[in-house]
Structure formats: structure tokens, C-alpha cells
Amino acid sequence: MYSRIIGTGGYLPEKILTNQDLESMVDTSDEWIQTRTGIKQRHIAAPDQTTSDLALIASQNAIKAANISVSDIDLVIVATTTPDMIFPSTACILQNKLGIAGNSPAFDIQAVCSGFIYALATADMFVSSGKARNALIVGSEVCSRILDWNDRTTCVLFGDGAGAVVLTQSDTPGILSSHLHADGSYSQILAAPASIQSGKMEGTPFITMEGGTVFKFAVRVLEEAVLEALNSNHLQPADVDWLVPHQANIRIIASTAKKLGIPQEKVVATVAQHGNTSAASVPLALDQAVSDGRIQPGQNVVLEGVGGGFTWGSILLRW
């Protein structure tokens, strides 16, 4: 038995923050941001919108696209680094908001920008083994809440949003393979290192990053992760119809594709409009390419992600 995605959905908050808007907030320029990152704008959640609110709309869109009833969902996984609260999990809050409280297991996955890859790989194990029939997998983030809006080296990079898929049992693939990795010795190069010690918060809750080190690390491991996916299915880069990468920086996306020999026309890029939405970036990009008809049945699609931890991974699927 295999698992297969039968519906995708996305949601981006109404408010758009452009590079020009950022010019009046920190010492930066539209030219610098576009040249170094490819980002033109990002969406920002309203003050009263939480990660589960964004996840709810993306989930409803995915369930509608899957043409199933919400009561058919028997597993809920949310990938997020910006949960509504320390606990309960955002997945439990989402399950309740969907009106299916008590119907399924529900849990969060914390793998930062690789979160959706980790969550989809986990759901695949439930569905392909028969432990779940229809899994809802969501990447949802309000990155804007963990940014220092005075730090130009980070605040220009991230945005808010949510993407979701419904994964169901299938006799035909579907997901062909998933490959997950982590190396905790790189935990300090990208972090929001706040912790509670003796009842007091220690460290900053805002994103801190060694940009150059992260850049080099990302390009190296993403190439390896995609090759691992291809090799384990006896496929070549030329067999890839669509590469749906994590959307952190257009230069990382372009370098990875170039090293692999995958032409840019086969790469789905949303980073210009969304910025880096962490765990939401891959499902939002996937939803866009499915909705606009680029991804077609029978095609080979590679998803990849990298993020804090460090974590990284890839998933190869036949659409």
C-alpha cells in the first residue's frame, strides 16, 4: 500500500509587507533584499491571527480540493516553529477548530523549515502501513512573531502563511521515498534560543542566524538530499518534472538546481511573493503549482527542505 496526496490548500494573511515598507523600518533597500534573496514581499498575520487560524483555512482548502468530508480525517499533523502556545499542540487546537475533536491522533512536529518534509514523511508511514486512512498534514507559521524587527539581517527574510495536504491510502504511488536527516552540532547557526530557567526567560526568543554559514550548509545538503531521493528510485535529475524546494532564498534555490542540472523552468519558486515561511513554504509552493496546473498526474515531483537544528530532507513522489 502507498500514500498519495489527493488535495492541497494554502492560505496567506491579507497584509502584505513590501521591501519598500521595510526601507522605512530598518536600514535596508529593495535593491539589497532582491539581489541577495529574491524576495519582493511577504505576508504578515493580523495581530489576532494565530498559527492554528492560518492552518485552519489552508486545511479547509486542502480538504475541499481532496473532495472528502472533514470527518474522514483520521490523523492531524502540524509542522510549526511558532505554535499558538507552549502546549497543547497546535495540531490539537486545529483538530478542535476543524470540528473533529476526538476523531484522530493529533501532534506537532518541530523541525523548523524542514518541518513539512518531516511531517509528510511521518504521515506517509502511518498511511502506507494502514494506521491512518486520510491524514491532514499542515505547515503553518507566524514567523513575524519571532523576528526582531530592528535586525535587518533577519527581519527582511521571513513571512507568515500556511499550506496543507490530504494524504490518503492508494494502491499506486504516491510517495515513492522519503529521506530525513539532522545534525544537532549545527544548532547555534540558526536559532530562536530563548528558554525558561528558574521561572525567568533566558536568551532571545527572536531568530538569530549566521547567514553565510547557513547558506553554504543549505546548498550542500539540499543537493545531497535530492540525489539521495533520485538514487534510491533509480532516477536521474533529467527525470524530475518539478523540484519544489524550501523557499528561503532564490540564490539557494538556483544554486541547488544548477548543481543538480535541473533547469530553472522545472523549479517552483514562490520566495519572491512569500519570503521564507518556514514549515509553510513547501506546501504553499506545492499548492501553487498544483492549482495553476503546472503539476500534472504521472509526473515526478521532488520536495526538499532544510532548516534549524540543523534538519534537512527530501521526498520523491509521483503525482
User: Where along the sequence are the contacts to ligand COA (CB under 6 A)?
Assistant: 28, 32-33, 36-37, 113, 152-153, 156, 190, 209, 211-212, 214-215, 218, 248-249, 252, 276, 306-307
Q: Rank residues 140 and 276 by Cβ distance to ligand COA and give the closer one.
A: 276
Q: Rank residues 267 and 290 by Cβ distance to ligand COA and give the closer one.
A: 267
Q: Rank residues 4 and 246 by Cβ distance to ligand COA and give the closer one.
A: 246
Residue 225 CB neighbour total at 10 angstroms: 25
Return the SS3 of 91.
helix
- Least distance between ligand COA and beta carbon 253 (Å): 10
Q: Rank residues 159 and 307 by Cβ distance to ligand COA and give the closer one.
A: 307
E strands of the chain, at which residues? 2-11, 15-18, 41-44, 75-79, 106-109, 134-142, 160-170, 175-182, 190-191, 195-197, 200-202, 208-209, 242-245, 300-307, 311-318
Selected catalytic residue, list 19, 43, 61, 246: 246
Distance of alpha carbon 192 from alpha carbon 195, whole angstroms: 9
Contacts of 87 (CB under 8 A, 6+ apart): none
Contacts of 206 (CB under 8 A, 6+ apart): 146, 147, 148, 151, 154, 192
Residue nearest ligand COA by beta-carbon distance: 211
Active site residue 155: no
- Least distance between ligand COA and beta carbon 190 (Å): 6
**Quick one: cell of 166?**
490530504
**Quick one: cell of 229?**
531521493
- Least distance between ligand COA and beta carbon 150 (Å): 11
**Quick one: cell of 156?**
527582511
- Least distance between ligand COA and beta carbon 26 (Å): 7
Q: Give the residue from 104, 111, 158, 175 showing the smallest Cα distance to 139.
A: 111
Residue 243 CB neighbour total at 10 angstroms: 26
DSSP 158: B
- Least distance between ligand COA and beta carbon 306 (Å): 6
Selected catalytic residue, list 113, 134, 179, 300: 113
- The burial class, CB within 10 Å (0-12 / 13-18 / 19+), for 234 is exposed
Q: Rank residues 4 and 43 by Cβ distance to ligand COA and give the closer one.
A: 43
- Least distance between ligand COA and beta carbon 270 (Å): 14
Distance of alpha carbon 209 from alpha carbon 151, whole angstroms: 11
Report how far Cα 243 is from the mean position of its chain's Cα atoms: 14
Q: Rank residues 252 and 286 by Cβ distance to ligand COA and give the closer one.
A: 252
What are the catalytic residues?
113, 246, 276
